[in-house]
Protein backbone atom coordinates (compact mmCIF):
# COMPACT_ATOMS: atom_id res chain seq x y z
CA UNK A 1 0.00 0.00 0.00
CA UNK A 2 1.41 3.18 -1.15
CA UNK A 3 0.38 6.34 0.66
CA UNK A 4 0.65 9.62 -1.02
CA UNK A 5 2.09 12.45 0.93
CA UNK A 6 0.48 15.77 0.57
CA UNK A 7 2.58 18.71 -0.35
CA UNK A 8 3.09 20.86 2.70
CA UNK A 9 2.40 24.53 2.39
CA UNK A 10 4.54 27.01 4.26
CA UNK A 11 2.60 28.57 7.16
CA UNK A 12 1.76 32.21 6.63
CA UNK A 13 1.28 34.74 9.41
CA UNK A 14 -0.82 37.76 8.60
CA UNK A 15 0.56 40.75 10.56
CA UNK A 16 -2.00 43.26 9.33
CA UNK A 17 -4.45 42.55 12.14
CA UNK A 18 -1.71 42.65 14.76
CA UNK A 19 -0.45 46.04 13.54
CA UNK A 20 -3.99 47.43 13.53
CA UNK A 21 -4.55 46.35 17.14
CA UNK A 22 -1.24 47.80 18.31
CA UNK A 23 -1.92 51.14 16.61
CA UNK A 24 -5.42 51.30 18.09
CA UNK A 25 -4.02 50.63 21.57
CA UNK A 26 -1.39 53.30 21.07
CA UNK A 27 -3.98 55.88 20.02
CA UNK A 28 -6.25 54.89 22.93
CA UNK A 29 -3.50 55.35 25.53
CA UNK A 30 -2.39 58.65 24.02
CA UNK A 31 -5.93 60.05 24.11
CA UNK A 32 -6.81 58.71 27.56
CA UNK A 33 -3.64 59.93 29.27
CA UNK A 34 -4.17 63.05 31.31
CA UNK A 35 -1.29 65.43 31.51
CA UNK A 36 -1.23 66.83 35.04
CA UNK A 37 1.02 69.76 35.82
CA UNK A 38 2.36 69.60 39.32
CA UNK A 39 2.16 72.65 41.54
CA UNK A 40 4.78 75.16 40.57
CA UNK A 41 6.72 77.45 42.86
CA UNK A 42 7.57 80.87 41.52
CA UNK A 43 11.09 81.88 42.46
CA UNK A 44 12.56 85.31 42.11
CA UNK A 45 16.27 84.78 41.78
CA UNK A 46 18.65 87.54 42.81
CA UNK A 47 20.12 89.77 40.14
CA UNK A 48 23.81 90.46 39.71
CA UNK A 49 23.41 94.03 40.89
CA UNK A 50 22.55 94.27 44.57
CA UNK A 51 21.09 97.42 46.12
CA UNK A 52 23.18 99.38 48.55
CA UNK A 53 23.34 97.86 52.03
CA UNK A 54 21.34 99.61 54.76
CA UNK A 55 23.37 102.22 56.57
CA UNK A 56 22.60 101.25 60.16
CA UNK A 57 21.83 98.15 62.19
CA UNK A 58 18.33 99.42 63.00
CA UNK A 59 17.32 99.31 59.33
CA UNK A 60 17.61 95.53 59.14
CA UNK A 61 15.40 93.02 60.91
CA UNK A 62 17.59 90.19 62.18
CA UNK A 63 15.91 87.11 63.66
CA UNK A 64 18.09 84.44 65.24
CA UNK A 65 16.76 80.98 66.09
CA UNK A 66 18.70 79.25 68.87
CA UNK A 67 19.27 75.55 69.32
CA UNK A 68 16.43 75.41 71.88
CA UNK A 69 14.04 77.10 69.43
CA UNK A 70 14.08 80.49 71.16
CA UNK A 71 14.03 83.67 69.08
CA UNK A 72 16.35 86.68 69.29
CA UNK A 73 15.13 89.76 67.40
CA UNK A 74 17.86 92.32 66.63
CA UNK A 75 19.96 91.07 69.53
CA UNK A 76 17.13 91.03 72.09
CA UNK A 77 15.93 87.63 73.32
CA UNK A 78 12.19 87.09 73.59
CA UNK A 79 10.48 85.91 76.77
CA UNK A 80 9.17 82.74 75.10
CA UNK A 81 9.24 81.02 71.73
CA UNK A 82 5.57 81.37 70.82
CA UNK A 83 4.39 82.66 67.47
CA UNK A 84 2.40 85.59 68.89
CA UNK A 85 5.38 86.79 70.97
CA UNK A 86 7.59 86.84 67.88
CA UNK A 87 4.90 88.66 65.91
CA UNK A 88 4.41 91.28 68.64
CA UNK A 89 8.17 91.89 68.90
CA UNK A 90 8.51 92.40 65.15
CA UNK A 91 5.47 94.70 64.99
CA UNK A 92 6.76 96.78 67.92
CA UNK A 93 10.25 97.04 66.45
CA UNK A 94 9.32 97.70 62.80
CA UNK A 95 6.03 99.58 63.13
CA UNK A 96 4.47 99.99 59.68
CA UNK A 97 7.73 99.60 57.75
CA UNK A 98 7.60 96.48 55.60
CA UNK A 99 10.14 97.20 52.86
CA UNK A 100 13.27 96.44 54.88
CA UNK A 101 15.15 93.17 54.39
CA UNK A 102 14.75 90.42 56.98
CA UNK A 103 17.57 88.03 57.81
CA UNK A 104 16.78 84.76 59.56
CA UNK A 105 19.73 82.99 61.15
CA UNK A 106 19.39 79.58 62.72
CA UNK A 107 21.59 77.36 64.80
CA UNK A 108 22.61 74.15 63.05
CA UNK A 109 20.75 72.12 65.66
CA UNK A 110 17.61 74.29 65.66
CA UNK A 111 14.42 72.55 64.65
CA UNK A 112 13.09 73.06 61.17
CA UNK A 113 9.70 74.01 62.63
CA UNK A 114 11.17 76.97 64.52
CA UNK A 115 12.75 78.36 61.35
CA UNK A 116 9.57 77.86 59.31
CA UNK A 117 7.52 79.55 62.05
CA UNK A 118 9.80 82.59 61.89
CA UNK A 119 9.50 82.68 58.08
CA UNK A 120 5.73 82.33 58.29
CA UNK A 121 5.33 85.16 60.82
CA UNK A 122 7.54 87.48 58.77
CA UNK A 123 5.68 86.60 55.57
CA UNK A 124 2.26 87.16 57.16
CA UNK A 125 3.38 90.58 58.36
CA UNK A 126 4.07 91.57 54.75
CA UNK A 127 7.85 91.45 54.46
CA UNK A 128 9.00 90.37 51.01
CA UNK A 129 12.80 90.46 51.28
CA UNK A 130 13.42 87.42 53.46
CA UNK A 131 17.01 86.17 53.58
CA UNK A 132 18.24 83.02 55.25
CA UNK A 133 21.80 83.24 56.53
CA UNK A 134 24.00 80.22 57.00
CA UNK A 135 27.28 79.99 58.82
CA UNK A 136 29.85 77.37 57.97
CA UNK A 137 31.66 76.14 61.10
CA UNK A 138 35.45 76.36 60.98
CA UNK A 139 37.31 73.18 60.11
CA UNK A 140 38.61 71.31 63.15
pLDDT per position as a tens digit, 4-33 = 777 777 778 888 888 999 999 999 988 888
| Total domain count, the chain | 1
Residue 73 within any structural domain of the chain:
yes
Nearest to 71 by CA among 35, 121, 26: 121
Output phi, psi for 14, to 5 deg. -90, 115
Residue 125 belongs to domain with CATH number: 3.30.420.270
Of the pLDDT bands very low, low, confident and very high (cuts 50, 70, 90), residue 38 is: low
Strand partners, 65: 71, 106
Rounded Cα distance, 9 and 7, in Å: 6
What pLDDT does 32 receive? Answer: 85
Rg (CA), the chain: 34
Residue 127 within any structural domain of the chain:
yes
pLDDT per position as a tens digit, 97-138 = 888 899 999 988 888 999 999 999 999 999 988 888 866 667
Is the CA virtual torsion 72, 73, 74, 76 positive or negative? negative
Alpha helices in 33-134 (DSSP H): 83-94, 112-125
CB 67 within 8 A of CB 109: yes
The domain of 96 spans 58-133
- Of residues 85 and 138, the one with the higher pLDDT is 85
Amino acid sequence: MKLQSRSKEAPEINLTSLIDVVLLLLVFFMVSTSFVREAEIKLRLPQAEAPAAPSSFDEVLDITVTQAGAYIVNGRPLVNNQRRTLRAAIERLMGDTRDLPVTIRADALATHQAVITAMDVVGQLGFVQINIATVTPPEA
